[in-house]
Amino acid sequence: MDRTFCIAPMMGRTDTHFRNLCRFASKHAVLFTEMVHSNALLKNKRIDKYIQKTDIENPVVFQLGGCEPMDLAEATKIINENKYDEINLNVGCPSPRVKSGGFGAFLMYEPTKVKDCLSAMTASSDIPITAKIRLGVDNQDIDETLDNFIEIILQSGIKTLYVHARKGMLEGLNPKENRNIPPLNYERVYRIKEDFPDIEIILNGGLSDFLEDKNKLKMVDGLMYGRYVCEKPYELTKVDKIFYQSTKETNIETLVMMMEKYLIENQNLGFSGYLIKRHMVNFFKGFSYSKKIRQIIMSDNLNVDEIIRILKKKHLLVA
């Protein structure tokens, strides 16, 4: 799987509908699910809402949360049955509940446990197992702790790490603040690649300019974008051309028509139109005509012809 460009797992964002709309914009970007705790797969009778995806989404990575090796192994078996391309263990989420539950970024304190979790997952999987980590947590000295942490977890046999280039602060900062306040430290991520040249390192955190960020690929193996693509998802139409040497760029008229087809098909299957439309409107967020298009999309009847008429009026489409 080519991990040159990845879209990060984001709670409340990267559901199956968001992933399908992203795939309309880019054929190559690696997509992630929201984080799902192993208990959600093992203790709920109906796991459809956690496991559902369409074949069009691939390549797509399922991100698991948890800290019990046997539970993670059983959850891994379920995911293997559902045609995902990779399973990623969350070792970076800094929300309050991860501390109380002993998973996510809290696991940065427990490298041996992380190794055991990843080993159990690897033994239960036919698809690659990976981990998403931070540089450290709280008052850890990342020059002293990080390489040792990585050396231990790599004993599980994993070959790919997604690294958020910030520490996670489990005390004093909420998840939103953890995305912005701890300083970025790309140089420390680059040193990981130098110290572990045989491991694939994907850089995450603060990326927001495709052309400028592409230069960072000289130092790492891939880039992972989070909130930026949620705020400006239309930028995804440029990904294949910039990162994958494609000669084609999805035009906005084609994108709108694919959205309409997806909405109709999924409403006929019983999915909530609102849950799909809330992602659709973001594709036009920040544009001068976004308010009018939002009104059209959120109305009872999606009028694609009217959206295209507005786009042409704004000179974004050639008539």
Which tokens is 40 given?
């959600």
* pLDDT for position 283: 84
Q: Which amino acid is at 287?
A: F
CA neighbours closer than 13 Å in the CB half-sphere of residue 175? 13
Catalytic residue among 6, 22, 67, 93: 93
* pLDDT for position 318: 43
Which residue ranges in the chain fall short of pLDDT 70? 313-319
Q: How many CB atoms lie within 10 A of CB 43?
A: 10
* pLDDT for position 172: 80
Q: What is the pLDDT of residues 164-217, one digit of tens each?
A: 999 988 888 888 888 888 899 999 999 999 999 999 999 999 999 999 999 999
Q: Alpha carbon of 125 to those of 78, 80, 145, 155, 290: distances in Å?
A: 10, 6, 29, 16, 44
What average pLDDT is seen over the chain? 91
Q: Is the peptide bond before 96 cis (omega within 30 degrees of 0)?
A: no
Can you list the domains of the chain with their CATH numbers? 5-243 (3.20.20.70), 252-313 (1.20.120)
Catalytic residue check, 93: yes
Which tokens is 235 given?
């930028």
Enter the pTM of the model. 0.94
Q: Are 7 and 32 in contact (CB under 8 A)?
A: yes
Name the nearest CA neighbour of 215 among 182, 252, 190: 190
Pairwise CA distance, residues 220 & 210, whole Å: 15
> For residue 91, which phi and psi values (nearest 5 degrees)?
-125, 30
* pLDDT for position 34: 96
Distance of CA 286 to the CA centre of its chain: 22
> For residue 291, which phi and psi values (nearest 5 degrees)?
-65, -45
Name the nearest CA neighbour of 129 among 118, 140, 139, 117: 118
Name the nearest CA neighbour of 179 among 197, 199, 203, 205: 205
Pairwise CA distance, residues 93 & 105, whole Å: 5
* pLDDT for position 272: 82
Pairwise CA distance, residues 17 & 48, whole Å: 14
